[in-house]
Amino acid sequence: MSTVNTTLPLANRVAVITGASSGIGEATAELLADRGATVALLARRADRLNALAARIEQRGGTALALPVDVTDADALKAAAERVATELGTADLLFNNAGVMLPSPVNEPRFDLWQRQIDLNITGLMNAIGAFTPQLIKAAADKGVADLINTSSIAATGVFQNFAVYTGSKAFVSHATRNLRAELSPQRVRVAAIQPGIVMTELGDHVTDEAALAWLDAERAAYEVLESADIAEAVAFLAQQPARVNIPELTVMPTGQV
């Protein structure tokens, strides 16, 4: 365990990040740790999580790698118990793991539809179910806690071949609004971050030729976001005074219409 620098803005916070093995989650874990938070790193790839935890510890932070598939509710519950025991009560959940697998509806890919629903909807709710008791407890003890869900501009945008992904992100954004109504009386701030295109591994899993051509053209036309840009947005939400809840934050590449 490292010594906590109590002058950092997120000192004394215990943050859980899902999808921490790459992209937005990885960058956010690093930034929250640099700002003083103790971080729990959740994703399936243990090697990536261990390497990230080692980097954070080398810089003086405290990190716990917890390899877990968030579609497995029981595994998440066990991970939540380890966070409470080994790091303390979680007061921030960055609920970020997600997958984007576009395909045309007239060539039905039930497998790809199911994977997106399982992770982007069921996985998101599994994490909320596992960590909400800790967020409520932390909010009662410290006066504030944060539930921050990664949605997307896809929640409201219209894109060919993206019906299931966009639908899953619409779920994230609207569930977030409703969860805020439920949890804000208990001082848990609830927010959705809605990024435009970010350069991550998200596109690496895409097999649909039309979607890949669209993604390539967008990336060539303007400078897309970096994961660190979204990490800054997450830290911005978490560092607000306890009275301030920004429920929705859309972050666009300047060049993306």
Which residues in this chain contact ligand NDP in the complex, by CB under 6 A? 18-25, 43-45, 48, 69-71, 96-100, 119, 123, 150, 152, 195, 197-198, 200-202
Three-class SS state of 15: strand
CA distance 89 to 81: 9
222 labelled catalytic:
no
Q: Which is nearer to ligand NDP, 32 or 139 (CB)?
A: 32
Q: What is the smallest separation between the CB atom of 34 and ligand NDP, expressed in angstroms?
A: 18
Q: Which two tokens stand for residue 56?
A: 């954070």
Which residues in 89-127 are b (16+ Cβ under 10 Å) and which e?
bbbbbbbbbbbbbbbeeeeebeebbebbbbbbbbbbbbb
Q: What is the smallest separation between the CB atom of 10 and ligand NDP, expressed in angstroms?
A: 20
Q: Could you tell me the CA-to-CA distances from 79 to 2, 95, 177, 195 in Å, in that order?
A: 21, 14, 26, 27
Q: Which is nearer to ligand NDP, 86 or 201 (CB)?
A: 201
Q: Which is nearer to ligand NDP, 36 or 102 (CB)?
A: 102
Q: What is the smallest separation between the CB atom of 4 and ligand NDP, expressed in angstroms?
A: 26
CA distance 33 to 62: 7
Q: What is the smallest separation between the CB atom of 52 and ligand NDP, expressed in angstroms?
A: 10
Instruction: State the residue for tokens 């899902």.
Output: 18
Among candidate residues 121, 127, 71, the one with its CA nearest the CA of residue 95:
127
Query: Residue 184 is which amino acid?
Result: S
Among candidate residues 237, 132, 151, 234, the one with its CA nearest the CA of residue 194:
151
Q: What is the smallest separation between the CB atom of 174 and ligand NDP, expressed in angstroms?
A: 15
Instruction: State the residue for tokens 């716990």.
Output: 64
Among residues 94, 162, 165, 171, the one annotated as catalytic is 165
CA distance 90 to 254: 34
Contact present, 119 and 161 (Cβ < 8 Å): no
Which residues belong to the active site?
A: 165
